[in-house]
Amino acid sequence: MFSLSSMLIPAILFFALGFFAQLVRSDLKFPPDLTKALSIYLLVGIGLHGGMELAKVDPAGAIGAVVAAVGLGLGLPVIAYLILLLAVRIDRLNAAAIAAHYGSVSAGTFVTAIAFLESLKVPYESQPVIMLAIMESPAIIIGLVLANMARRGNGNGHDKRVSRELVHDAFTNGSVVLLLGSMLIGAIAQPAGLNKILPFYETMFMGVLSLFLLDMGMEASRRIGDFGKVGPSLLVFGIAMPLLGGAIGLAVGHWVLGFGVGGTLLVAVLAASASYIAVPPAMRLAIPEASPALFLTLSLGVTFPFNIVLGIPLYFGAAQWLASQ
Amino acid sequence: MFSLSSMLIPAILFFALGFFAQLVRSDLKFPPDLTKALSIYLLVGIGLHGGMELAKVDPAGAIGAVVAAVGLGLGLPVIAYLILLLAVRIDRLNAAAIAAHYGSVSAGTFVTAIAFLESLKVPYESQPVIMLAIMESPAIIIGLVLANMARRGNGNGHDKRVSRELVHDAFTNGSVVLLLGSMLIGAIAQPAGLNKILPFYETMFMGVLSLFLLDMGMEASRRIGDFGKVGPSLLVFGIAMPLLGGAIGLAVGHWVLGFGVGGTLLVAVLAASASYIAVPPAMRLAIPEASPALFLTLSLGVTFPFNIVLGIPLYFGAAQWLASQ
Amino acid sequence: MFSLSSMLIPAILFFALGFFAQLVRSDLKFPPDLTKALSIYLLVGIGLHGGMELAKVDPAGAIGAVVAAVGLGLGLPVIAYLILLLAVRIDRLNAAAIAAHYGSVSAGTFVTAIAFLESLKVPYESQPVIMLAIMESPAIIIGLVLANMARRGNGNGHDKRVSRELVHDAFTNGSVVLLLGSMLIGAIAQPAGLNKILPFYETMFMGVLSLFLLDMGMEASRRIGDFGKVGPSLLVFGIAMPLLGGAIGLAVGHWVLGFGVGGTLLVAVLAASASYIAVPPAMRLAIPEASPALFLTLSLGVTFPFNIVLGIPLYFGAAQWLASQ
Amino acid sequence: MKPVKRIEIVIEEIELENVIDELDRIGVVGYTIVPRAGGRGERGVRYESVQGLGNVLMTIACDEQQAARVIEVIRPILKRYGGVCLVSDAMWVIHDS
Amino acid sequence: MKPVKRIEIVIEEIELENVIDELDRIGVVGYTIVPRAGGRGERGVRYESVQGLGNVLMTIACDEQQAARVIEVIRPILKRYGGVCLVSDAMWVIHDS
Amino acid sequence: MKPVKRIEIVIEEIELENVIDELDRIGVVGYTIVPRAGGRGERGVRYESVQGLGNVLMTIACDEQQAARVIEVIRPILKRYGGVCLVSDAMWVIHDS
Ligand SMILES: Nc1ncnc2c1ncn2[C@@H]1O[C@H](COP(=O)(O)O)[C@@H](O)[C@H]1O
Ligand SMILES: Nc1ncnc2c1ncn2[C@@H]1O[C@H](COP(=O)(O)O)[C@@H](O)[C@H]1O
Ligand SMILES: Nc1ncnc2c1ncn2[C@@H]1O[C@H](COP(=O)(O)O)[C@@H](O)[C@H]1O
Ligand code: NA
Ligand code: NA
Ligand code: NA
């Protein structure tokens, strides 16, 4: 059963510690290369684990997840874009840039949800990992399309080149390659060899995640300084959008994909989370007119901590409720 | 039983290897970010372990340790300062800067002492970890006070600002936040979650420590070039002061806190060791007139290797002798 | 039994993933400090393991391996040099620089061969680790001698100084110090202490190796851009030389040292592999006239991937055949 | 020694590849890069972090004609993405004279 | 292009925050920072290491008036903690002209 | 402020020790080092990687006489190993005046 004590999992506590450290302006600082190293490790770890699980499953069963992932990746940024234009009323280019972030996903949030499920000993489906890998890309393309629409008329010579570059990046960016590549390795490598590397990638996983979240807590907290630039209605968007995305994800996970509580939570988290790794540089290239202070503050400073601390338990409660109907 | 072979623990041997590598001017070099990453890991590991142990103990039992830590943290730098002024006869500002280092502690030495105890299978109390966290701060304040006293008259406009900054740093510096934060997490996190992260923080701990000490061996050895600047009487201080601190620590551990051999050794090591992480930048800010070549060479080049190689076994022998009385 | 599936070990697959990532111009990039950290870990891990194994063996049995290592280290670069001069027909200075790389060894290839053997559960002798440590040095000296011979007449003022520096580097470079030092620690440290650090150095080893090879796959792939500068005959050399070296290594391992299949494979890999860590900077210092684009592309871009993917299974097949005679 | 222009450019990491392509196009071979720089300008603070949106410092020594061409290709990039380009005079110590 | 002063400052990492506060106070917005630099001066060698006492290189492009104010606030910090400040002339490639 | 020469040197990491020894020999105390730089020149691309063959950026502020001596000892190293040395004019903000 779920209770407040389930929030006392180390992953969340370490995130809170990092957030606090930065809040009191401690001189604690992770070297940026350490952050990158931890990300690489986590992505490979998720991929390997997912690939091994998927190898056990009927491959046809994964097709639904793939379709759902593409659908969410294309649909969510459009929804976000419309809300930003019509309700929040910001300009089209910033709206496009922010929307792309919400169509994509946060691997850190995804893994924290897994830590949450494991601490409650709730089982979960293996397909969401493929969805994680897939959902990185379409949102970048949609962001580009929205921006080009917004910009139509005031054409810019660089555009074609940048567009080609971005479509390339969308499918070859580091996270996608690491996730898909290590899923493949997890699926095809011979078991004796895999068993030799699992002590590193599985036994250590939750510990490394705690260190990563300590660091991300600091990163998130560092963004608070820009809340003023973001303004109240966008801040509200940063919480409303994951709630809406989470609801859509719950529906997709429960009804469309027929997942149990665990898998449904993970789909909700995919839909609710916003990218802060692959999409920011892509949007910076694609829409230089958009302000990084806006999209980074929203994805990293608002939505990410919201999901880690409140979103995950909330979506979990909802997934339980759905399952009990 | 203690014998020479107890010095052949990997922690000490790796320290010696690093020392040797730098001595023969090998091009071996750890990236500075790796050093930082290892420190972060070790501090979180110590904290988590300590927090879990403390949660099992009567909280009232920790109060004595807290008081003793504050006492040592305030008393030791004053003793060091007087010795430096009256016996070594160096100027007041350098004396204040050096004294602050000896009031604080070296987490690396502390953990090596734990490795030493574990290799001998000697149990130890859990309270010294809180003392480790606490003793980082008071020495910085005392250093500042001593410097301000020394400087009285030739006032400097920056002082107030710097003082405020330093008091803030004393309580929020990275080591303190990591140690206290992860102690708290170790104490309150739900056990299922903790068990998932322990393979990373406990099973790996001694291995990571060996790598850290390999690096610190190189750092220590690199300081030998400055022995000339330090001069013979300060070098003697660098060995005499840990001996005196160690004796005071032994007394406090054995008689005041009533610890067994293990806990007494750890208190001795806290008192005997000098900071080379938190205090140097603080003293550089507080007392720019003081020479980093002096305080870094003493704490990192003299006292640290002395404690690792000779001090720990010596204090341990003394703790055994006290216990056998 | 050996089959194609034995190539599906994670080590090789991760190498292929890295190679592929760079080929499709993914933005995936390991921070250079991470690469260095992984190398340090692997060298210490190999050394410790080797030292523990060697401590069990009759020390006299190691003498043969030492002599064979020095012999290979001195002989292979001379053979490579003659081939480069007479068959490939490049200038003497480039020939000397390239030859030195082939006399030395690649620890990454060596460890991949160990992963290969372990996945097939084939036992192997412990002496090749000493050979790995020893073979780093002589090739550097030979490279220097060959270059000085080539340069005789058009003397250069710096030479003496550089020579002294290089002889020093040959025996104190980081890889040598780490390997020999941790072999010694593995051999003499008390077992209780060693057992505490083995979870880090042994249990994690194959996982860390997979990450390292992911990175090296990218490094190797990055060199393809210089294939044009290298030209077809040198590229052929980059594959022919490991085949020749491998054959010599097989002969030395099987007949001279009397090793089983496992040990014979490892000696073959030592002889077949080319250094890309210790030798390149040494040759850059020693023979600035030589082009790094040539020696790095050959050792890192041609011979390394060839050995990882094709060479190891090939030498293994040959070692099996020899053993079955 | 030979008088040259010393061009110093601060751009975002993600534009580096683009800038190098432009240099190739106009035949500028030499440059030096300092990665992982931070900074602040009209577009706010840029610090090295997970997002790879930190700065890169590029220095190019070249003759006056080349400098003019470098500036020409850099300007639209600066206009689009921000950044700074400073040009100053220096003497290049030629190896052989 | 516009003529500017190029100010180049080498200070210890720990003073960076302080210097930025001073720049804020006098209204200087733009600067570029190269972290993790080493060096040697009157106060001995400074190398990047555990102690966080390494150097940081800061470059500021600004007009002559601002330069005078920057120098004014930097001087006491240099005096107290050491370091170097060099000022030279450069042309700033303005985005739009 | 005092007029000085600002010498900027790009060399390979492995030659740094050598260059510092030469500076010691001619009595030049102060320098600043930015490690881990990349670049491209006549000898191709140099990027920071496992091989430790990346670039290092060294800046030396000194008077004209010292500058001449620095150039003299640097030139043969540049000739042998490649790299760049630029000399420009700057004003050094002296701490006390
Ligand atoms: N006045 C300046 N002096 C030095 N660097 C600057 C200046 N203005 C901007 N920069 C650098 O250029 C980057 C982009 O500037 P901006 O496009 O103005 O935001 C900043 O992050 C700084 O690194
Ligand atoms: N003449 C110089 N040229 C270049 N950098 C210098 C010079 N003198 C000092 N520095 C830099 O300024 C830092 C502090 O110098 P100092 O306060 O003289 O010890 C040194 O660590 C160097 O990085
Ligand atoms: N024109 C240039 N401008 C700036 N840096 C250069 C230039 N030429 C060479 N360099 C730097 O000097 C290094 C060695 O150059 P080279 O010896 O010409 O290959 C390169 O890797 C660059 O970092
Ligand atoms: Na999403
Ligand atoms: Na102490
Ligand atoms: Na070889």
CA B12 vs CA B18, B207, B209, B311, C191: distances in Å: 10, 12, 10, 12, 14
Instruction: With CA atoms as reference, report the closest residue to B81 among B101, B102, B103, B96.
Output: B96
Q: What is the pLDDT of residue B58?
A: 78
Backbone dihedral angles phi then psi of residue F91, each to the nearest 5 degrees: -105, 130
F18, C158 Cβ separation under 8 angstroms: no
CA angle D64, D67, D71 (to 5 degrees): 145
C290, with CB counted inside 10 A (0-12, 13-18, 19+), is buried
Q: What is the rounded CA–CA span in Å between residue C60 and residue B296?
A: 46
Task: For B123-180, give the DSSP string.
Answer: ---SHHHHHHHHHHHHHHHHHHHHHHHHHTTS--TTHHHHHHHHHHHHHH-HHHHHHH
Q: What is the rounded CA–CA span in Å between residue A273 and residue A263?
A: 15
Q: Which chain B residue has its CA at the smallest distance from E16's CA? A: B285
CB atoms within 10 A of CB B242: 29
CA C316 vs CA A20, B76, C132, C266, C305: distances in Å: 55, 64, 18, 9, 16
Q: Chain F residues with CB inside 8 Å of D36's CB?
A: 36
Share of chain A above pLDDT 70, in %: 96
E31 lines ligand 1 (CB under 6 A): yes
A22, A223 Cβ separation under 8 angstroms: no
CB contact under 8 A, D32 and F39: yes
Task: For C250-301, give the DSSP string.
Answer: HHIIIIIS---HHHHHHHHHHHH---SSSHHHHHHHH-TTS-HHHHHIIIII
Q: What is the pLDDT of residue C156?
A: 52
CB contact under 8 A, B17 and C185: yes
Considering every ligand atom, which ligand is closest to the CA of F79? 3
Q: What is the rounded CA–CA span in Å between residue A29 and residue A221?
A: 12
Tokens 């060791």, residue located? B273
CB atoms within 10 A of CB A121: 7
One-letter identity of residue B137? S
| Residue C73, CB-side half-sphere exposure with 13 Å CA sphere | 25
CB atoms within 10 A of CB B74: 16
Q: What is the pLDDT of residue B157?
A: 42
Q: Is the pTM of this model over 0.80?
A: yes
pLDDT category at D38 given cuts 50, 70, 90 is: very high
Tokens 């069990």, residue located? C56
Q: Chain D residues with CB inside 8 Å of F36's CB?
A: 34-36
CB crowding C116-149: b at 16 or more within 10 Å, else e: bbbbbebebbbbbbbbbbbbbbbbbbbbbbbbbe
One-letter identity of residue B112? T
Helix intervals (H) in B173-231: 174-188, 191-198, 205-222, 227-230
Helix intervals (H) in chain B: 10-23, 32-56, 59-82, 92-103, 107-119, 127-151, 159-172, 174-188, 191-198, 205-222, 227-230, 232-251, 261-272, 279-286, 292-296, 304-306, 312-324
| Tokens describing residue B172 | 């929020």
Q: What is the pLDDT of residue F94?
A: 83
Going by beta carbons, is chain D in contact with chain B, meaning 3 or more pairs sit under 8 Å apart? no
CA angle C119, C136, C63 (to 5 degrees): 80
Question: How far apart are the CA of C35 and the nearest CA of chain F, in angstroms?
Answer: 7
Q: What is the pLDDT of residue F50?
A: 62
Q: Which of F34, F40, F48, F59 maximizes ligand 3 atoms within 8 Å of its Cβ, making it the mutation to test the pocket?
A: F40
C244 alpha carbon – ligand 6 mean position (Å): 10
pLDDT category at E97 given cuts 50, 70, 90 is: low
Q: What is the pLDDT of residue A74?
A: 95
Q: What does the pLDDT look like over A243-280, one tens digit per residue?
A: 999 999 999 999 999 999 999 999 999 999 999 888 99
CA angle B142, B143, B147 (to 5 degrees): 115
pLDDT category at A160 given cuts 50, 70, 90 is: confident
CB contact under 8 A, F90 and E85: no
Q: What is the rounded CA–CA span in Å between residue A88 and residue A82?
A: 9
The predicted model gives A187-204 an average pLDDT of 94
F31 alpha carbon – ligand 2 mean position (Å): 6
Instruction: With CA atoms as reference, report the closest residue to A197 among C50, C108, C39, C202.
Output: C202
Q: What is the rounded CA–CA span in Å between residue D37 and residue D69?
A: 25
Instruction: With CA atoms as reference, report the closest residue to F36 among B219, C218, D33, B30.
Output: D33
Question: How far apart are the CA of B261 and the nearest CA of chain A, in angstroms?
Answer: 32
E58 lines ligand 2 (CB under 6 A): no
C272, C315 Cβ separation under 8 angstroms: yes
CB pairs < 8 Å spanning B and E: 44
CB contact under 8 A, B10 and C40: no
Length of chain F: 97
- Check whether E78 has a pLDDT greater than 50: yes
CA A288 vs CA A280, B70, D17, D53, E95: distances in Å: 11, 54, 16, 12, 14
CB contact under 8 A, E80 and B288: yes
Tokens 């620089």, residue located? C97
Nearest to C25 among A37, A172, A182 (CB): A172
- Check whether F17 has a pLDDT greater than 50: yes
CA angle A200, F36, B215 (to 5 degrees): 50
Nearest to D86 among E36, E91, E95 (CB): E91
Length of chain C: 325
CB contact under 8 A, B197 and A10: yes
Residues with Cβ within 8 Å of residue E15, at least 6 apart in sequence = B285, E77, E81, E83
| Tokens describing residue F69 | 């001596």
D41 lines ligand 1 (CB under 6 A): yes
Nearest to A13 among B37, B178, B189 (CB): B189
CB contact under 8 A, A288 and D76: no
pLDDT category at A290 given cuts 50, 70, 90 is: very high
Helix, strand, coil % in chain E, rounded to nearest 5: 30, 45, 25
Considering every ligand atom, which ligand is closest to the CA of B293? 2
A35 alpha carbon – ligand 1 mean position (Å): 25
Q: What is the pLDDT of residue D22?
A: 95
B211 alpha carbon – ligand 5 mean position (Å): 23
DSSP classification of residue B204:
T
| Tokens describing residue E17 | 């925050």
Interface TM-score (ipTM) > 0.85:
yes
D84 alpha carbon – ligand 1 mean position (Å): 6
D69, E86 Cβ separation under 8 angstroms: no
| Tokens describing residue A58 | 């009927």
Nearest CA, atom 1, ligand 3: D30
- Check whether B286 has a pLDDT greater than 80: yes
Q: Which residues of chain C have pLDDT under 50?
A: 1, 153, 157-158
CB contact under 8 A, D14 and A281: yes
E36 lines ligand 2 (CB under 6 A): no
Q: Chain B residues with CB inside 8 Å of C43's CB?
A: none
Q: What is the pLDDT of residue D30?
A: 97
One-letter identity of residue E31? Y
Residues with Cβ within 8 Å of residue F29, at least 6 apart in sequence = E40, E41, E42, F23
The predicted model gives A170-176 an average pLDDT of 91
B217 alpha carbon – ligand 5 mean position (Å): 19
E54 lines ligand 2 (CB under 6 A): no
Pocket of ligand 3 (CB under 6 A): D 30-32, 59-62; F 10, 39-43, 46, 55, 82-84
- Check whether D97 has a pLDDT greater than 70: no
| Tokens describing residue C266 | 């490892």
Q: Which chains touch E (3 or more CB pairs under 8 A)?
A: B, D, F
Q: Which of F84, F85, F86, F88 maximizes ligand 3 atoms within 8 Å of its Cβ, making it the mutation to test the pocket?
A: F84
Instruction: State chain A's mean pLDDT as an integer.
Output: 92
Q: What is the rounded CA–CA span in Å between residue A168 and residue B4?
A: 63
CA A5 vs CA A9, A69, A116: distances in Å: 8, 32, 11
Question: How far apart are the CA of F42 and the nearest CA of chain E, in angstroms?
Answer: 26
Question: How far apart are the CA of C91 and the nearest CA of chain B, in angstroms?
Answer: 30
CB contact under 8 A, F51 and C285: no
CB atoms within 10 A of CB E24: 11
Task: For A177-200, give the DSSP string.
Answer: HHHHHHHHHHHHS-HHHHHHHHII
Q: What is the pLDDT of residue E51?
A: 66
Q: Which chain F residue has its CA at the smallest distance from C295's CA? A: F51
- Check whether B134 has a pLDDT greater than 80: yes
Share of chain A above pLDDT 90, in %: 80
The predicted model gives B75-99 an average pLDDT of 96
Question: How far apart are the CA of C232 and the nearest CA of chain B, in angstroms?
Answer: 35
